Structure 1
Amino acid sequence: MASAILLGIGIAASAAVGKIGIDAFKKYRNINGSVKNFVKGGFEPKMSRTEAIQILSLNSRGLTRQKVKTAHRRLMLANHPDRGGSAYVASKVNEAKGLLDADRSIRGFSSWAIPPSRPVQKIPSVLEAVESMKQYSLNCPRQ
């Protein structure tokens, strides 16, 4: 009885391993014929936001500054001309990062060119300053 149960578990495990192996092989060899990784056509004359996101291999949903920076670094390490990469590809990666850096709709926007906005502080008038000094002097204990 116990040997029949073990035999059944062994057959089920080998079937699961076989299925995982076949799926991995199909994915590796792309047997199903779909081309999901490539977009038809070349580059646009002026780079768009969509094209920049595609060049950096990002998703437009949940796009953050840190993701742009990480993707740019990863691609530049792989395609830098000093390391045998293509100068054209490196220029397109830099152009994509520059375009997305200038995009204010991305969360975590920060740029060297545009300082962050600060709340406007109200400057007190002379009368308000004198009044606040009087209040301060009344509330301070004398020594």
Structure 2
Amino acid sequence: MIKPVATLDDILHRGDWCGQLQQAWYEHIPLSEKMGVRIQQYTGQKFITTMPETGNQNPHHTLFAGSLFSLATLTGWGLIWLMLRERHLGRYDYSRRCAYSLQQTHQRQTQRNCRSGVVERRSGQAGARP
């Protein structure tokens, strides 16, 4: 008996969403397309992405750490995005507007403020109080 190999359309639980996700990666993270990142399978529980070794190898014939990290990050984020979408979750509803800024002062300190007054954090030199 010969069993035909399933095409990508046959093994994608939500092929339309996977297509949208992959297209969003290519539009908003162009490096993902250059790396050849592809969605291979989504079952509703499992999400598999691939990328070719060609073009992602360093001179030692191993994969670049940045390529591996990018693939892992896109895979994890993509699975969460798909699962939230299936459950009709993931919308952000803010109780009030919050403007966020990050500034560097002349003393190389970092300040992070949320103008709504809910969150305010400042970091300074070692030993300084928050």
Range into which the TM-score falls when normalised by the shorter chain: under 0.3
Q: Which structure would you say has the larger Rg?
A: 1
Alignment TM-score, normalising by the size of structure 2: 0.21
Greater share of strand residues, 1 or 2?
2
